[in-house]
Amino acid sequence: MDFTLKIWRQKNARSKGHFETYQVKNISPDSSFLEMLDILNEQLIHEGMDPVAVERGCQSSGPVSFDHDCREGICGACSLYINGRAHGPDDEVTTCQLHMRKFKDGDTITVEPWRSKGFPVIKDLVVDRKAFDKILQAGGFISVGTGGVPDGNAILISHETAEESMDGAACIGCGACVATCKNGSAMLFVAARVSSLALLPQGKIEGAKRAKAMVAKMDELGFGSCTNTRACEMECPKHVTVSHIARLNREFLCAKFKD
């Protein structure tokens, strides 16, 4: 399969970015999207070292920088905006799980970094997602006793409650919700973290302040507000639903009433 790639190139956070066009050929339909970018980067490295290619004006601006880690849909680092969709034209997958068979031979593919005030571009397709870490530090934790470890069955939790908590905990913090939301809101991420703890007895200790602290930090870091378009839910690779946002709102209002 052959593709034309229009990729966002940006030297650093202070530079003005632009699109550059590349051609890749003989790509296997079973290759992942990141493997295809690996092949492109090998091609760009070769062109950069090939004096004949340089003489013909083929010298590239260097390999394309993009983020990745596990390549198994677990870490959420492979955050790319592909043809106008977070993680590309497939449902409930991360970019590393997207395969080239989802495209047609000869397609032009536009690749961009996340677009959000909360996620400034570091270089090319890499964005700074430390904002999510700061939100978690504001309240996404529970108190831990230093005494003996209680038996796992000592605290009874219904199966339905445990499953709902795990649904929220499934969030991998990739940022697709922010990139998809027209307001750049991080509400689905915050809601997933709050909801996963609010449903469990272990999360009740900080429950009164968790939602307030995390929402305040989200606003401070420049993320937008939620207007319930549900775009975040549609593009979440782990299908975290907006029902968690409803629970976040309840937790937030209850905390305010207690104040």
- What averages of pLDDT result for each successive group of 10 residues across the chain (259 residues)? 96 92 96 97 82 50 90 93 95 95 97 93 95 93 73 80 93 95 95 92 85 94 93 94 93 86
Evaluate whether 194 touches 247 at the Cβ level (below 8 Å). yes
- Please tell me the predicted confidence (pLDDT) of residue 61: 67
pTM, two decimals, is 0.88
3-state secondary structure of 109: strand
Q: Answer yes or no: are the C-beta atoms of 109 and 103 closer than 8 Å.
A: yes
Distance of alpha carbon 92 from alpha carbon 239, whole angstroms: 6
pLDDT in tens, 78-92: 999 999 999 999 999
Name residue 111's beta-bridge partners: 7, 82
Q: State how far Cα 172 lies from the chain centre.
A: 7
> With contact defined as beta carbons under 8 Å apart, do 191 and 164 qualify?
no
List helix spans (H) across the chain.
33-49, 51-55, 130-139, 159-169, 176-180, 187-198, 207-220, 231-235, 243-258
* 3-state SS, residue 9: strand
The token pair that represents 144 in the structure block: 């831990």
* Confidence (pLDDT) at 50: 52
Q: How many CB atoms lie within 10 A of CB 22?
A: 17
Q: What is the pLDDT of residue 59?
A: 45
Measure the CA–CA gap between 117 and 110, rounded to whole angstroms. Answer: 21
H helices, E strands: number in the chain: 9, 7
